A and B are shown apart, each in its own frame.
Chain A
């Protein structure tokens, strides 16, 4: 009875050996060939177009938009968020998410403040911030990997824990009077007009892009995001990668805390309130799939710059910041809904 099926499997199908275009959403080729059409139609090209359009419109409508000093200063309002968006992109590609970044940022900032008021020298404040952030990220990672809990639940819990601890330490006070070193980095410029924060952001973007797109580790992050079980069976230490990425996100949030605290010069309980959602919005707008396994650092950086341009343009036009949230929300909805509407209805779910 089974002979026919056995026979048919034994007959070699020549087409089966070749990697054909699968019906899966994501395809990991060993090395993809460069095709101009695909490159132009990609999410990143769309974003680049959007960025250029936003930039041009702002430049035409706003007479002072192209002032180099203003433009450079405009990067201040997104540099710290973008620093967190980079590791967040890796996490989301890996099918995880971290809601607790703003809590980590608040706690790291409090740690800096506490160390500073207790007489720590200015140079150790940066390591303290990064260490606090890494520790928080480690807690998230351990909960996710050791106890197999969904990361969204864990980090919803830890965000109130971290922010709560920060407000317990702070009470109704605030830490101020930070050393000159932090002010120099938070508010300072290279060559007189390029903000140091922005340069640091670009350096980190390069590092992350190199990590994700040019190393085996980066390939494995994509593999985990596409299929964690298959990735585990092919010998990737999935849990170590997850733990590492959570700690990396924590460390970057700590770094962002150091810059933000240096820039605004104080630590208050509501520091970076609501940033987690802004950061996630940047990442998703950058073309990272929330289902995991797809996305690029270049896309995230383009999304960051686009949002930064629009924010800067709106603020020049004296439009209240909260209008920005509407613009960002609509931008997010349109960018994800439009391809789906254009492609027509799919039945798969």
Chain B
């Protein structure tokens, strides 16, 4: 029991519940089922992206290009749906995922096989992909009346009383839980993040693993691209601008170590949920929306401070410390 309470994920879950309860006590509207349902729906995209980002960060990498990949595949699926309205929706979604996958694999090739620094590569592809959105759309907006109705309706239509977005996010969480906890692929990623040199010695094909990790990240971003565009019923060049930092923040709050090798599915999910709660709670308790960014910053800093305290290992002692010796003798005497 104590171990469970000490776990970062449990603490985070408790603080989310406390936060919801606090906001609920100020404004009972917030804890109504429809409001909580909205909260869940709002958090899905962030949670899915945070899961994909978690795998990347676990390998000591970082994917700054997720928001641009999302924008590019979202714009392309919107243009596709506008051009061919009779195309069945699953095909459009598959195309979005495929586009994301290809964009992610480009990152993966550069990082895995060419052994380039992830932050630099994704910084570069981030600008390229964002620019391509503009080139493809010609800078124009694709607005709701141009898109076919079922294209827009899908994310928010309900199945068994829950929006499709939540179902998709739930499935994604299951898949990632399986990948991270029960597949060889996932174990390899943790090994790569913990000790790349040892991982190579035990025969893990690091390049191949990284290639597909960034591929997965891209594919999830591609799927989210379609969902984002359909949910907000508009596609333009600046969709999700700057969202990559929110995604990374969700991971960091969820206890995924930026140094690689540690992080859990539950942590990433709760981190995304936490940011979504803050985002949804502020308007309810009548805090000016201008505060949202500042509060998010404070939350991130607090979370990393708490996480750092949990995992404190102290400096390495390479020479004998006389102070300790005196103490030891004192206690012995």
Contacts and interface: CB of A to CB of B under 8 A. Distances in A.
A165 interface: yes
Given A281-B127, A284-B123, A330-B124, A337 B293 contact: no
Most buried by B among A97, A154, A162: A154
Contacts of B258: 150, 152-153
A237 interface: no
A160 B124 contact: no
A290 B117 contact: yes
Given A149-B308, A156-B300, A332 B252 contact: no
B237 interface: yes
Interface in A103-144: 143
Interface stretch (B45-53, B142-150, B284-292): B284-292
A157 B301 contact: yes
Contacts, number: 148
Contacts of B301: 143, 154, 157-158, 161
Contact of B115 (A277, A324, A330, A346): A346
B135 A323 contact: yes
A120 B43 CA distance: 45
Interface stretch (B25-33, B74-82, B242-250): B242-250
Interface residues on A, range: 35 or more
B42 to A, nearest CB: 18
A99 B294 CA distance: 15
Interface in A327-341: 328-330, 332-333, 336-337, 340-341
Contacts of A84: none
Interface string B269-303: 00000000000000000001011111111101100
Interface string A305-344: 0000000000000001011111011101100110011000
Contacts of B139: 320, 322
A210 interface: no
Nearest to A158: B297
B116 interface: yes
A154 B131 CA distance: 28
A281 B64 CA distance: 13
Contact of B297 (A160, A171, A322, A330): A160
B246 to A, nearest CB: 8
Nearest to B64: A277
B291 A149 contact: no
Contacts of B297: 157-164
- Majority SS of interface residues in chain A? helix
A160 B127 contact: no
Nearest to A328: B127
B249 A156 contact: yes
B62 interface: yes
B196 A349 contact: yes
Contact of A157 (B127, B288, B300): B300
Interface string B299-314: 0110011001000000
A167 B290 contact: yes
B245 A340 contact: no
Contact of B304 (A153, A329, A336, A341): A153
A150 B115 contact: no
A336 B120 contact: yes
A164 B242 contact: no
Interface in B72-131: 110, 114-117, 119-121, 123-131
B242 A274 contact: yes
